[in-house]
């Protein structure tokens, strides 16, 4: 008979998922930065890369808290989101819509991360892991702020530039 799975098992499994995702995001961000033409967007990608390195470090702390080694588990969802971003880079390269597409892709990543960190934070609380909860909450707040910052950048300049471009 199979071992009964618990919330603790689910927490560990989801932690491995987001750890893999963050590592993939670290690989994708430099590509997105190179593709971006808007200087503020390039800076946003630089900033998020630095934050993502911190997120990986925090996740490693959470693994330590639960007494497990920091190992990722392949996350098909983030792979698909990143693949879509690469398609946008390929299909919109050289157009005024590229930066808007990059923001859209980056926000898809952020929304995935927000759902994972929100769930993990709630489970950490329910499992009585206050140190893990605090670390996950800090990352959740940063991911949410990044999403807001990207929205503001899109609304302030990027979407208008993409909208007002002359048709080729």
Q: Looking at residue 41, which CATH number applies to its domain?
A: 1.20.1260.10
**The domain containing residue 73 runs over which residues?**
7-160
Q: Say if 2 falls within a structural domain.
A: no
78 neighbors 109 (Cβ within 8 angstroms): yes
Query: Model's pTM, two decimal places?
Result: 0.92
Q: Say if 1 falls within a structural domain.
A: no
Query: Which 3-state string (H, E, C) describes 77-99?
Result: HHHHHHHHHHHHHHHHCCCCCHH
Q: Say if 165 falls within a structural domain.
A: no
Q: Say if 167 falls within a structural domain.
A: no
Q: Say if 166 falls within a structural domain.
A: no
Q: Say if 17 falls within a structural domain.
A: yes
Q: For the segment 127-166, what is each residue's pLDDT rounded down to a tens digit?
A: 999 999 999 999 999 999 999 999 999 999 999 889 876 5
Structural domain total, the chain: 1
Q: Say if 155 falls within a structural domain.
A: yes
Q: For the segment 22-65, what is each residue's pLDDT rounded down to a tens digit?
A: 999 999 999 999 999 999 999 999 999 999 999 999 999 999 99
Which are the contacts of 145, defined by CB distance < 8 A and separation ≥ 6?
none
25 neighbors 82 (Cβ within 8 angstroms): yes
């Amino acid at each position: 008979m199979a071992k009964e799975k618990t919330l603790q098992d689910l927490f560990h499994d989801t932690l491995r998922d987001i750890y893999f995702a963050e590592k993939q995001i670290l690989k994708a961000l430099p590509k997105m930065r190179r593709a971006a033409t808007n200087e503020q967007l390039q800076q946003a990608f630089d900033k998020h890369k630095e934050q993502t390195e911190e997120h990986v470090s925090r996740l490693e702390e959470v693994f330590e808290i639960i007494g497990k080694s920091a190992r990722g588990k392949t996350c098909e969802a983030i792979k698909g989101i990143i693949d879509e971003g690469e398609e946008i880079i390929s299909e919109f390269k050289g157009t005024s819509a590229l930066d808007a597409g990059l923001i859209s892709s980056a926000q898809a990543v952020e929304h995935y991360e927000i759902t994972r960190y929100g769930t993990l934070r709630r489970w950490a609380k329910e499992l009585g892991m206050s140190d893990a909860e605090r670390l996950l909450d800090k990352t959740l707040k940063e991911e949410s702020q990044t999403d807001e910052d990207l929205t503001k950048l899109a609304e302030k300049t990027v979407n208008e530039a993409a909208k007002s471009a002359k048709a080729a």
